[in-house]
């Protein structure tokens, strides 16, 4: 008997079709509701694709991971899913992932901080993090979250976001991970956008394809111990995070941390972002 297939969908909003700046999705923006609807439809396309590609679905868990995790419209989601929302939560963008899942999808993602022409490029905190390196290589949210999933043996299967993110995904994960380009970056707050209906059709199709041949995917892991370097926006943030046990101040704005695994790294990252914000 074939085992049931469990899928984890991590959702962010910057990479969905149509959004080109944070102003459009700010809490008081008149456009917020329209983008919440597009975001929910984009996640729904992934859910429909997963269901179409696998006869036996066990669990589909959606993790609403932009800002406070209050973006997706629960009454509009496809049936048969549960959703993690709200904050704080220890593992934020991948809260709830564990060994029972067979695949990770990253919907609405964006390129790492410092990526040219990328829509709203940042890594976890646009106000605190200037750069993150793991084992000497710059990384963004997609790689970090894929590595948390990889810790549990869960491979990354599909990513949606702009063309700059697509290049990043290709360089880390190769061509086995399905990529749906939602827009083409012009600058940090400008893009040439595809229509949501066309993006959603492609997500549904590629989701079905990738889950039907998911055994070809491999979990993504960084070599351990993880040697992390955090470059912060200013020296006050360096002062604030320096007392964290295990953190080594390398320079005014730079600190290092050696983590025994990606979960420990994730906790330190979240702590650094939280403490860094307090200096503002
Ligand atoms: Zn976000």
In tens, the pLDDT along 131-166 reads: 999 999 999 999 999 999 999 999 999 999 999 999
Confidence at residue 111, expressed as pLDDT on a 0 to 100 scale: 98
What is the mean pLDDT of the segment spanning 258-278?
97
The DSSP secondary structure of 52-86, one letter per residue, reads HH-S-EEEEEEEE-STTT--S-GGGSPSSEEEE--
Distance 122 CA to ligand 1 centre (A): 9
What is the mean pLDDT of the segment spanning 203-229?
96
Distance 66 CA to ligand 1 centre (A): 4
Stated pTM of the model:
0.97
Q: 248: how many CB neighbours lie within 10 A of its CB?
A: 12
pLDDT band at 190 (very low <50, low <70, confident <90, very high): very high
Distance 184 CA to ligand 1 centre (A): 18
Distance 119 CA to ligand 1 centre (A): 11
Distance 32 CA to ligand 1 centre (A): 14
In tens, the pLDDT along 53-81 reads: 998 999 999 999 999 999 999 999 999 99
Question: Percent of the chain beyond pLDDT 90?
Answer: 98
| pLDDT higher than 80, residue 1 | no
**Which of these, 74, 84, 83, 67, lies nearest to 29 by C-alpha position?**
67
pLDDT band at 3 (very low <50, low <70, confident <90, very high): confident
pLDDT band at 2 (very low <50, low <70, confident <90, very high): low
In tens, the pLDDT along 102-121 reads: 999 999 999 999 999 999 99
pLDDT band at 93 (very low <50, low <70, confident <90, very high): very high
Structural domains present in the chain: 5-115+140-216 (3.40.50.10780), 226-278 (3.30.1360.130)
Q: How far apart are CA 54 and CA 142, in angstroms?
A: 24
Describe the strand order of the beta sheet including 5-11 as a list of residue ranges: 81-84, 57-64, 5-11, 103-107, 156-162, 178-187, 190-193
| pLDDT higher than 70, residue 129 | yes
Distance 124 CA to ligand 1 centre (A): 8
Distance 125 CA to ligand 1 centre (A): 9
Distance 192 CA to ligand 1 centre (A): 19
Confidence at residue 224, expressed as pLDDT on a 0 to 100 scale: 95
Distance 80 CA to ligand 1 centre (A): 25
Distance 108 CA to ligand 1 centre (A): 8
Q: Which residues pair with 16 in a beta bridge?
A: none
| pLDDT higher than 70, residue 245 | yes
């Amino acid at each position: 008997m074939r085992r049931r297939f469990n899928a984890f969908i991590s959702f962010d909003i910057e990479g969905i079709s149509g959004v080109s700046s944070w102003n459009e999705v700010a809490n008081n923006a008149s456009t917020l509701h329209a983008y919440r609807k597009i975001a929910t439809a984009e996640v729904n396309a992934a859910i429909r694709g997963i269901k179409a590609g696998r006869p036996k679905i066990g669990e589909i868990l959606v993790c609403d991971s932009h800002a406070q995790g209050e973006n997706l419209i629960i009454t509009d989601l496809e049936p048969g899913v549960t959703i993690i929302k709200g904050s704080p939560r220890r593992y934020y963008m991948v809260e709830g992932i564990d060994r029972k899942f067979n695949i990770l999808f990253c919907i609405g993602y964006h390129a790492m901080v410092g990526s040219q022409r990328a829509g709203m490029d940042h890594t976890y905190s646009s106000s605190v993090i200037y750069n993150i390196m793991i084992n000497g290589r710059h990384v963004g949210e997609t790689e970090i979250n894929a590595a948390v999933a990889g810790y549990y043996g869960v491979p990354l299967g599909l990513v949606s976001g702009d063309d700059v993110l697509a290049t990043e995904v290709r360089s880390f994960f190769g061509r086995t991970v399905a990529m749906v380009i939602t827009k083409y970056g012009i600058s940090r707050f400008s893009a040439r956008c595809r229509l949501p209906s066309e993006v959603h059709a492609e997500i549904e199709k590629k989701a079905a394809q990738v889950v039907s041949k998911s055994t070809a995917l491999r979990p993504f892991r960084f070599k351990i111990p993880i040697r992390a370097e955090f470059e912060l926006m200013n020296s006050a943030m360096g002062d604030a995070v320096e007392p964290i046990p295990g953190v080594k101040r390398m320079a005014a704005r730079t600190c290092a941390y050696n983590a025994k695994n990606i979960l420990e790294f994730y906790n330190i990252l979240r702590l650094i972002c939280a403490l860094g914000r307090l200096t503002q």
